[in-house]
């Protein structure tokens, strides 16, 4: 059942993406020849008006075929003046940008709805890891007020908690960092317990899985109770986090650690299979992240991605005349190689996770 839900979810994202192109093309007067879920060979199709709707055999995306996407294409009489390259630049950009825009708006809508049922992390101690340094000195419900005397009062909550984590991680073991070693210097935790402030000294231990020292507890949480404005801000913050991390990964793709963060369809599907078992909210969160990632990656400025078409349309607008199709074809060949490279990096990582440490969604 999980795999059927995953298939339907991914299919919905593809259909909505292509529907963005389709309706924008129709609205701007372009002739749409085909609207397909998945790629050929064709399994099924039906024609309504001038458009053929169908399903392909290769489940790796979908496409909308607009007449005249090749400027050298000879259009039939009924399509004269309605081809893609017959339209002004702004209409082409609207049509191409509509697909990623739908995915981005969908991600925001899902996150906005989830915000009304989200728990927000706070500065209290939640779970304490048995056998950890925290187990000897902290209790659930303790409020972490400061770390090494630093409170960071002018920062937002999440940023402040990250600073607390970084401050603990600054205490390292003497010599080589190895799993389970204790930091050479203790960290001073100021906690509020039963209304009283206490200063606790504890030596954090190194955890090889996260590559830093930690005390061994998780922060607590409470219902966020957002109003509409707060929910919108929360959704926007999460989208910015995903966007910035996506940009960082691809900007530093030649670094081994960043390459390991790339996942392919196998990895995303396996993660989704685990997340569905956790809960509905977590499944919708993953759907929002995948939708946002699909929209953002498609905006990368190289062909055959949507961003490549937008880029060359802008180049045409700036230079005042059409870019030779041969130039775009050569650029598209480079872009195709990059897309294939990303595919194989993701596939290689997926195989490694499936045969090794797993996807670790919990």
331 plus 283 within the same structural domain = yes
214 plus 127 within the same structural domain = yes
102 plus 202 within the same structural domain = no
108 plus 14 within the same structural domain = yes
With respect to residue 349, please indicate whether it lies within any of the assigned structural domains: yes
Q: Which of 181, 199, 223 is the last residue of a domain?
A: 223
Tell me which of 30-39, 250-259, 343-352 is least confident.
343-352
What whole-number distance in Å separates Cα of residue 155 and Cα of residue 163? Answer: 9
Residue 170, Cβ density class (10 Å: 0-12 exposed, 13-18 middle, ≥19 buried): middle
109 plus 127 within the same structural domain = no
What's the chain's length in residues?
Answer: 362
The CB density around residue 304, as the number of other CB atoms within 10 Å, is 13
Question: What phi, psi does 199 have (nearest 5°)?
Answer: -105, 120
The 8-class DSSP code of residue 117 comes to G
104 plus 140 within the same structural domain = no
Is pLDDT at 335 greater than 60 in this prediction? yes
Domain residues for the domain of 338 are 2-114+273-355
With respect to residue 361, please indicate whether it lies within any of the assigned structural domains: no
Tell me which of 136-145, 197-206, 229-238, 255-264 is least confident.
255-264
The 8-class DSSP code of residue 180 comes to T
With respect to residue 50, please indicate whether it lies within any of the assigned structural domains: yes
With respect to residue 246, please indicate whether it lies within any of the assigned structural domains: no
25 plus 101 within the same structural domain = yes
Question: What phi, psi does 147 have (nearest 5°)?
Answer: -125, 120
The total of structural domains in the chain comes to 2
Q: Give the pLDDT mean for 99-104.
A: 96
Predicted confidence at residue 356, as pLDDT, reads 46
289 plus 217 within the same structural domain = no
56 plus 125 within the same structural domain = no
Predicted confidence at residue 117, as pLDDT, reads 86
**32-48 and 196-202: which strand pairing?**
unpaired
Q: Give the pLDDT mean for 171-178.
A: 93
């Amino acid at each position: 059942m999980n795999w059927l839900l995953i298939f339907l979810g991914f299919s919905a994202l593809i259909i909505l993406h292509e529907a963005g192109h389709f309706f924008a093309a129709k609205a701007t007067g372009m002739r749409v020849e085909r609207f397909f879920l998945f790629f050929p060979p064709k399994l099924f199709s039906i024609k309504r008006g001038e458009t053929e709707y169908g399903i392909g055999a290769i489940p790796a995306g979908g496409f909308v075929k607009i007449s005249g996407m090749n400027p050298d294409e000879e259009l039939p009489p009924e399509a004269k003046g309605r081809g893609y390259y017959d339209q002004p630049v702004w209409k082409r950009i609207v049509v191409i940008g509509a697909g990623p825009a739908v995915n981005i708006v969908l991600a925001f809508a899902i996150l906005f709805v989830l915000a009304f049922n989200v728990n927000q992390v706070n500065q209290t101690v939640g779970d304490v890891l048995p056998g950890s340094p925290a187990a000897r000195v902290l209790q659930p419900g303790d409020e972490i007020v400061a770390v090494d005397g630093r409170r960071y009062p002018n920062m937002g909550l999440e940023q402040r908690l990250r600073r607390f984590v970084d401050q603990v991680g600054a205490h390292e073991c003497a010599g080589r960092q190895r799993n389970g070693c204790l930091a050479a210097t203790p960290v001073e935790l100021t906690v509020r317990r039963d209304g009283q402030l206490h200063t606790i000294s504890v030596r954090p231990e190194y955890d090889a899985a996260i590559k830093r020292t930690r005390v061994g507890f998780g922060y607590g949480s409470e219902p966020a109770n957002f109003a509409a404005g707060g929910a919108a801000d929360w959704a926007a913050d999460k989208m910015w986090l995903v966007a910035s991390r996506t940009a960082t990964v691809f900007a530093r793709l030649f670094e081994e650690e960043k390459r390991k963060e790339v996942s392919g369809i196998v990895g995303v599907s396996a993660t989704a299979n685990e997340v569905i078992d956790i809960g509905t909210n977590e499944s919708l969160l993953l759907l929002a992240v995948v939708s946002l990632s699909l929209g953002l990656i498609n905006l990368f400025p190289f062909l055959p991605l949507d961003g490549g078409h937008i880029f060359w349309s802008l180049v045409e607008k700036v230079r005042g005349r059409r870019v030779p199709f041969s130039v775009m074809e050569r650029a598209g060949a480079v872009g195709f190689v990059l897309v294939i490279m990303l595919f194989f990096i993701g596939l290689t990582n997926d195989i490694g996770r499936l045969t090794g440490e797993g996807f670790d969604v919990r």
